[in-house]
Amino acid sequence: MEERLNLIETFAEFKDFKNIERETLMRILEDIFRSVLTKKYGPDANFDVIVNVDRGDLEIQRYREIVEDGEVENEFTQIALSDAIKIEPDFEVGEEVMENIRLSDFARREILSLRQNLISKIMEYEKDLIYKKYEHRVGELVAGEVSQVWRKEILVLDEEGVELVLPKSEQIPADHYKKGDSISAVVEKVEIRSSAPLIIISRTSPKFLEKLMETEIPEVYDGLISIKNVVRSPGERAKVLVESYDDRIDPVGACVGLKGSRIHSIIRELRNENIDIINYTSNPKLLIARSLNPAKITEIEIDEENKTANVYMKPDQVSLAIGKGGYNIKLAGKLSGYEIDVFRDDIIEEEDVDLKEFNDIFDQWVIDEFKKIGCDTAKSILKLSREELIQRTDLEEETVDEVIAAVKEELEVE
């Protein structure tokens, strides 16, 4: 009796809580009961299974043909006239007898099998439903609530309670979440793992920035401004290439907004990631020059066959072109599609001294640290403040002071 009650409770459970259409649930229930009935009464037995999902119950009707006494060949599809008139006195040979099959007619083991099959089929259907739903949402923005935080990943629940996984590799370095926090990301990929759908979301994907811009900038959402390309070093810097299909719209200005009003909310969501909005051009030289912003370019030489570009600029612009950690030049290369090398347009200025002349005073690795930030002459070092040199080179303060002193002495600067 307890197992039969559990079966009815199972119907009610799925009726109230599972995100399954009524027709689908009816079909699943019918299939499960027909499978059990076939095993119990044979494949030729004739049944109607009527499911009432709203009440959480069902009705099973069994049909058998009435034959003369002694002529029953298949007890599952036929019934003797003498037995039929016990059900209803005016039955005749050739007619059909309808009987209701009750749950009490099933054995305990059959009831357990019914319930287990029902749960299994529902879970299988829901997994398939989730996979099909999210398989078409790859690249879309999703929002959810943090359910669990682990060392290598975060478990997020969407508004319907579907589990989404945010791996550590897809988190912005400055991301720090705790249980209950709201979170937004893009669907990176959907796959089947251990027979269950695995939905990976990402906050480091360039698509995430693109979708945030669609949300915050009406012209992008409406298609008046097209995002041609997005490249990112998550949490550090991003470059976005935009184009307007309306000559009256300035794509860069529209994306940034008045006093940065539109872009600032995106920057906050990306943990203060610097975002450069760049106007698209089909001219590769101009595109490279814009991509290296804020550095000012003197000349560009392009090798189309090898997709390389030699960029020449004033010494004080080199460090700007390279950027902190080299992010600016790396992203400019990805955005433009060219491998970019930066050169000073005057190797040694008048009355200037190349740093290699100081290799009898300082180790080569010290000189190399300055060259990495574009300071390859004495004057180029003096154009930066002491604090900037310490921060960009990561050298000890005493070492920087010694280099500055030596440079000033060489150039006879007070």
Q: How confident is the model at residue 2 (pLDDT cuts 50, 70, 90)?
A: very low
Task: CATH 3.30.1480 in the chain: give the residue spans.
Answer: 2-132
- Tokens representing 124 are 């299988």
d(CA 50, CA 149): 46
Average pLDDT across the chain, whole number: 86
* 2-132 carries CATH number 3.30.2420: no
Q: Is the dihedral of CA 98, 101, 105, 106 positive or negative?
A: positive
Q: Specify the fold of 355-411.
A: DNA polymerase; domain 1 (1.10.150)
Q: How confident is the model at residue 1 (pLDDT cuts 50, 70, 90)?
A: very low
- DSSP E strands: which ranges in 153-257? 153-157, 163-167, 182-193, 196-202, 225-233, 237-244
pLDDT in tens, 20-45: 666 777 777 778 888 888 888 878 78
Strand arrangement, sheet containing 299-303? 299-303, 308-313, 339-344
pLDDT in tens, 222-259: 999 999 999 999 999 999 999 998 889 999 999 999 88
Q: How confident is the model at residue 8 (pLDDT cuts 50, 70, 90)?
A: low
Helix 284-291 to helix 327-336 angle (10° resolution) is 150
Lowest model confidence (mean pLDDT) among 14-18, 218-222, 224-228 = 14-18
User: From the CB of residue 297, how many other CB atoms can be counted at a distance below 10 Å?
Assistant: 20
pTM comes to 0.65
Task: CATH 1.10.150 in the chain: give the residue spans.
Answer: 355-411
Pick from 364, 360, 390: nearest CA to 376? 364
Pick from 97, 122, 105: nearest CA to 13? 122
Span 190-218, average pLDDT: 94
Q: What is the DSSP letter of 336?
A: H
Q: State how far the alpha carbon of 267 is from the alpha carbons of 234, 236, 245, 262, 354, in Å.
A: 11, 10, 25, 9, 40
pLDDT at residue 350, as a whole number:
52
Span 343-371, average pLDDT: 78
* CA atoms in the 13 A half-sphere facing the CB of 169: 2
Neighbouring residues of 209: CB distance < 8 A, sequence distance ≥ 6: 230, 232, 238, 240, 266, 270, 275
- Tokens representing 138 are 């790859």
Lowest model confidence (mean pLDDT) among 16-30, 281-295, 366-380 = 16-30
Q: In the predicted model, is pLDDT for residue 210 greater than 90?
A: yes
User: Which CATH code fits 152-202?
Assistant: 2.40.50.140
Q: How confident is the model at residue 4 (pLDDT cuts 50, 70, 90)?
A: very low
pLDDT at residue 10, as a whole number:
54
pLDDT at residue 292, as a whole number:
94
Question: What percentage of the chain reaches a pLDDT higher than 90?
Answer: 42
Q: In the predicted model, is pLDDT for residue 186 greater than 90?
A: yes
Task: CATH 2.40.50.140 in the chain: give the residue spans.
Answer: 152-202
Q: How confident is the model at residue 351 (pLDDT cuts 50, 70, 90)?
A: low
pLDDT at residue 54, as a whole number:
63
The 3-state DSSP class for residue 403 equals helix
Q: In the predicted model, is pLDDT for residue 300 greater than 80?
A: yes
Q: How confident is the model at residue 353 (pLDDT cuts 50, 70, 90)?
A: confident
Span 274-282, average pLDDT: 95
Q: Which residues pair with 49 in a beta bridge?
A: 60
User: Which one is predicted more confidently, 300 or 121?
Assistant: 300
Q: In the predicted model, is pLDDT for residue 104 greater than 80?
A: no
